[in-house]
Amino acid sequence: MARLTGQVAFITGAARGQGRAHAVRLAEDGADIIAVDICAPLTSTAYDMSTEEDLAETARLVEKHGSRVVTAVADVRDPAALKTALEQGVAELGGLDIVIANAGIAAFSLGHLIDEQEWAETIDINLSGVWRTVKLAVPHLLERGKGSIILTCSCASVQGPSHLAHYTAAKHGVLGLVKTFANELGPHNIRVNGLMPTQVDTPMIMHEGVYSLFRPDLEHPTKDDFVGPSQAGNVLPVPWVEPVDVANAAAFLCSDEARYITGVALPIDAGTLIKR
């Protein structure tokens, strides 16, 4: 029997990237999935956001592993829509055991040049959206009498990368949520942990806006031009990690193999945080 058989996971930002990888990886371990995503453009991002077709593809990949899946288009800034999506999923799948608050965006600008709208959108999605996700999910976990919550942090949760003041502030806040929720929910046998990836091969990172930050000497840098500067930030000889690498860590933290692990933020960073 797979280690998550009979469990239900609620995953935000599940249409592609890390969110899709989490959904598919947990399905491989037997979990059923409630997958939500905004599936709409945002004004702050320089890259295309997910689509309903992306979310449908996530569902197809989950079902390929024999797991059930409920999908919904929902914005983590909209508590009513998020609650409806969660309640419908719980009703159809029979409960809730795992939460992965993964939805997030990244916009790139020097801190003093970030406008009010971009700041507000980033904080509301990357920090407040995580809090809303946990807030709505906790009653279901309390009913279950146990649970595992995973919050997507970042190496930026403990660093101060340039051009990302709003993202960094949000991720520092998410790391704080990991610690506080772990303290509050631990007596109820609910574990709360974080994931701190380095750069991941997803659309949020892989676009010309990011490449230009690292290669300002080139007029139109490509992904190949990004390899060297990105790898320079890691100890291991890789430029970035893959979504499945982050999902593998999540699957472990959700399982009974990690039954006494709570309140930690696990780096999946190729050594970024120990880089001298």
CATH of residue 159: 3.40.50.720
What confidence category does residue 132 fall into, taking pLDDT thresholds of 50, 70 and 90?
very high
Residue 75 in domain: yes
For residue 159, with 0-12 CB atoms within 10 Å meaning exposed, 13-18 middle and 19 or more buried, which class applies?
Answer: middle
Report the first-to-last Cα separation within the chain, whole angstroms: 43
- List 109's β-bridge partners, or say none: 164
Residue 275 in domain: no
CB 177 within 8 A of CB 131: yes
The DSSP bridge pattern shows strands 8-12 and 265-268 to be unpaired
What confidence category does residue 1 fall into, taking pLDDT thresholds of 50, 70 and 90?
confident
Residue 276 has pLDDT above 90, yes or no: no
Q: How far is CA 100 from the centre of its chain?
A: 7
Residue 211 in domain: no
For the chain, the domain total comes to 1
Residue 229 in domain: no
Residue 102 in domain: yes
> 138-141: long-range contacts at Cβ-Cβ below 8 A with a sequence spacing of 24 or more?
138/185, 138/190, 140/86, 140/90, 140/95, 140/96, 141/96, 141/97, 141/99, 141/185, 141/188, 141/190
Residue 221 in domain: no
Tokens of 41: 């453009």
Residue 188 has pLDDT above 80, yes or no: yes
What confidence category does residue 98 fall into, taking pLDDT thresholds of 50, 70 and 90?
very high
Residue 183: which domain range? 8-205+240-264
Per-residue pLDDT tens for 16-44?
999 999 999 999 999 999 999 999 999 99
Residue 101 in domain: yes
E strand or H helix at 197, and its extent?
Answer: strand 190-197
* 0.75 surpassed by pTM: yes
Residue 174 in domain: yes
Active-site positions?
167
CB 28 within 8 A of CB 52: no
